[in-house]
């Protein structure tokens, strides 16, 4: 090859190599990258005073960032005070002021926790940087924790001196931050003035509050005063739903004596059956399951069902507008009864009208007599057996006058799963400072939940199945025996649970006495 040709070719290859090295792409080879990006350098550092009027903000991370995600998760407060331009290049974030930074202003920059690397490993907590052109910056802070936040979701906390209504604070916040993975958050460099609080759970991951899709944060207090202390002072309850009124989406007759309703939100599971009427008459019972409820009632006359709903609330106590509607009555398709098991309950449609269902349970190993006792019309309790058993319940149900097609007795073979009797243990303990205060204690794990009153400071769970549990308590301010989420407006204080202990191992036929006294922030919680 001519030496005159060799040099241009080598030059071209070098250009290609440099271009390839400069391009951003996913790293290849080696173990998978699961480490989130870390902030290595911040200019200016948080708390800096005397910043130059046109200071460029620069942040360098440990690895290249997903530019499109990062740009959507950078917020500068006060909102709209100074126009800026944001550039994300590789590991760097540059924020340039297009006009001078204002005097007598403390700027707070939030680098949101959704900022991620090229493999979408997001930061575990937001980064908050505050600075000012002035020679002094206030040192006060607000600290707190969001309770009940589901893993992988972002909780945004807003505070404002200008507004008190939660919607106004969310639309025009003065300061903003996000909760870390453990729910903790902190505002720094605040003046010592009264700040009102609001927040939301970013369910749609849009980084902005959307009334119909996002959940809310309900604070334990409407406002707070910043101070120079370090103790946690604020608690907010994460409510993974909105506070809009529920709507009826669908009503369907499943059987002549069973109707199913579907709502836009979960109905109040403590609401009972008083909210419903079928053909003007009270119903037998209602079973709530997520956004659905099944109503069990007597067979109406005619070919339609008149359903009336009055005073129904959702699980956040938002009232639903009263409504009335007609739906077609679904006739029985054949002469068979319909059976459905839910844990230790058997639902039978249509209502057999018998207080007892007596038959036998057949399994691969044995056949034993079995009797189911009626709870309410058409609903029977399945008793415990000596051991877990899966088999078929053979039962004869007589015909009914309401259903001429069922004029004779019929033998049914119903699939059933029976639970065996399990030995249990007890758990007891003491909480300091709650005597005479409305307090309830909860012992729970992923499968079970036990709850008891603790108004005198002592608690006892007598029949706890073996397993590992966590312990918490909450103030039962209205004495209704359940934790209430409260409301942001009109403000109702939430009953926020306080975590006390984890890893409580319960053994069968064993008394577990928790040593010492649990201390909780009674004055702030009750």
pLDDT digits (tens, 9 = 90+) for 417-441: 998 888 899 999 999 878 778 899 9
Neighbours of 214 (CB within 10 A): 21
CATH number of this structure's domain 425-525, picked from the four choices 3.40.50.150, 3.20.20.220, 3.40.50.300, 2.60.40.1120: 2.60.40.1120
Q: What is the DSSP letter of 508?
A: T
Calculate ∠ Cα 109-112-118, nearest 5°.
125
What 3-state class would DSSP assign to 226?
coil
- Predicted confidence (pLDDT) per residue in 234-270, tens digit: 899 999 999 999 999 999 998 888 899 999 999 998 8
CB 381 within 8 A of CB 345: yes
**What is d(CA 91, CA 82) in angstroms, rounded to the nearest whole number?**
25
**What is d(CA 379, CA 343) in angstroms, rounded to the nearest whole number?**
12
Strand-pair partners of 442: 451, 472
Nearest to 418 by CA among 379, 462, 372, 378: 372
Residue 86: its H or E element: strand 84-89
Q: What is the 3-state secondary structure (H, E, C) of 243-295?
A: CCCCCEEEEEEEECCEEEEEECCCECCCCCCCCEEECCEECCEEEEECCEEEE
**What is d(CA 11, CA 328) in angstroms, rounded to the nearest whole number?**
82
Q: What is the DSSP letter of 211?
A: T
169 φ, ψ (degrees, to nearest 5):
-65, -40
Average pLDDT over residues 467-482: 91
- Predicted confidence (pLDDT) per residue in 281-320, tens digit: 888 788 898 999 999 888 888 889 999 999 999 999 999 9
In the chain, ranges of CATH 2.60.40.1120 domains: 425-525
Distance of CA 346 to the CA centre of its chain: 30
**What is d(CA 303, CA 118) in angstroms, rounded to the nearest whole number?**
61
- 436 backbone φψ class: left, alpha, beta (φ>0; ψ -120 to 50): left
Instruction: Specify the fold of 248-328.
Output: Immunoglobulin-like (2.60.40)
**What is d(CA 488, CA 212) in angstroms, rounded to the nearest whole number?**
15
CATH number of this structure's domain 39-239, picked from the four choices 2.60.120.10, 3.40.50.410, 2.40.70.10, 2.60.40.1220: 2.60.40.1220
274 Cβ neighbours under 8 A, 6+ residues apart: 282, 311
What local confidence, expressed as pLDDT, does residue 285 receive? 84
pLDDT at 30 > cutoff 70: no
What local confidence, expressed as pLDDT, does residue 174 receive? 87
- Predicted confidence (pLDDT) per residue in 78-136, tens digit: 888 899 999 999 999 999 999 999 999 999 999 998 999 999 999 988 999 999 999 99
In the chain, ranges of CATH 2.60.40.1220 domains: 39-239, 248-328
Neighbours of 465 (CB within 10 A): 15
- Asked, as a colleague might, if the bond just before 78 is cis with ω within 30 of 0, I would say yes
Q: How far apart are the first and last CA of the chain?
A: 89
pTM for the whole thing? 0.78
Average pLDDT over residues 347-358: 87
Torsion of CA 179, 183, 189, 192, to 10 degrees: 120
Neighbours of 241 (CB within 10 A): 19
Nearest to 308 by CA among 317, 299, 320: 320
What local confidence, expressed as pLDDT, does residue 366 receive? 87
Both tokens of 138, joined, read: 């206030």
81 Cβ neighbours under 8 A, 6+ residues apart: 102, 105, 107
Q: Considering the chain, what is the average pLDDT of its residues?
A: 87
Both tokens of 302, joined, read: 């005619």
b/e sequence 24-45, b meaning 16+ C-beta within 10 Å: eeeeeeeeeeeebbeeeebebe
Nearest to 405 by CA among 304, 490, 470, 331: 331
Q: What is the DSSP letter of 204?
A: T
**What is d(CA 133, CA 107) in angstroms, rounded to the nearest whole number?**
9
The band of 19, judged by pLDDT with boundaries at 50, 70 and 90, is very low
């Amino acid at each position: 090859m001519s030496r005159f040709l060799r040099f241009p070719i080598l030059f071209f290859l070098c250009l290609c190599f440099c271009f390839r090295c400069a391009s951003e792409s996913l790293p290849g080879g080696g173990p998978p990258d699961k480490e989130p990006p870390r902030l290595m350098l911040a200019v200016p550092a948080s708390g800096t005073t005397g910043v130059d009027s046109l200071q460029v903000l620069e942040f360098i991370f440990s690895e290249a960032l997903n530019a499109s995600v990062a740009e959507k998760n950078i917020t500068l407060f006060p909102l709209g005070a100074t126009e800026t331009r944001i550039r994300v290049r590789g590991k760097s974030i540059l924020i340039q002021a297009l006009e001078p930074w204002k005097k007598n202003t403390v700027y707070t920059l939030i680098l949101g926790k959704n900022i991620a690397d090229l493999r979408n490993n997001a930061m575990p907590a937001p980064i908050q940087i505050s600075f000012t052109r002035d020679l002094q910056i206030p040192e006060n802070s607000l600290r707190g924790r969001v309770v009940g936040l589901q893993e992988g979701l972002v909780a945004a906390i807003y505070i404002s001196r200008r507004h008190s209504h939660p919607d106004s604070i969310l639309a025009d916040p003065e300061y903003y931050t996000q909760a870390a993975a453990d729910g903790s958050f902190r505002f720094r460099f605040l003046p010592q003035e009264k700040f009102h609080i609001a927040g939301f759970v970013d369910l749609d991951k849009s980084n902005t509050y959307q009334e119909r899709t996002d959940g809310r944060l309900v604070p334990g207090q409407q406002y707070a005063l910043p101070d120079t202390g370090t103790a946690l002072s604020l608690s907010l309850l994460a409510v993974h739903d909105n506070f809009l009124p529920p709507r009826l989406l669908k009503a369907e007759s499943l059987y002549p004596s069973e109707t199913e309703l579907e709502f836009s939100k979960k109905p109040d599971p403590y609401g009972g059956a008083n909210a419903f009427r079928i053909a003007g008459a009270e119903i037998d019972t209602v079973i709530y399951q997520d956004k659905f409820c099944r109503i069990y009632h007597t067979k109406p006359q005619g070919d339609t069902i008149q359903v009336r709903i009055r005073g129904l609330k959702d699980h956040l106590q938002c009232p639903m507008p009263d409504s009335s509607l007609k739906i077609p009555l679904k006739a029985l398709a054949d002469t068979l009864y319909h059976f459905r098991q839910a844990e230790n309950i058997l639902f039978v449609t249509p209502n057999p009208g018998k207080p007892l269902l007596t038959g036998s349970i057949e399994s691969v190993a044995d056949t034993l007599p079995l009797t189911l006792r009626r709870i309410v019309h058409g609903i029977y309790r399945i008793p415990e057996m000596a051991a877990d058993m899966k088999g078929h319940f053979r039962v004869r149900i007589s015909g009914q006058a309401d259903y001429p097609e069922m004029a004779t007795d019929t033998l049914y073979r119903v699939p059933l799963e029976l639970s065996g009797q399990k030995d249990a243990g007890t758990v007891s303990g003491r909480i300091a400072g709650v005597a005479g205060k409305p307090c309830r204690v909860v012992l729970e794990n992923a499968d079970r939940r036990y709850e008891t009153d603790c108004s005198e400071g002592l608690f006892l769970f007598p029949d706890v199945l073996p397993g590992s549990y966590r312990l918490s308590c909450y103030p039962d301010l209205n004495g209704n025996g359940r934790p209430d989420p409260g409301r942001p407006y009109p403000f109702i204080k939430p009953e926020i649970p306080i975590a006390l202990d984890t890893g409580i191992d319960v053994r069968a036929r064993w008394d577990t006495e928790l040593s010492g006294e649990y201390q909780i922030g009674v004055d702030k919680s009750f």
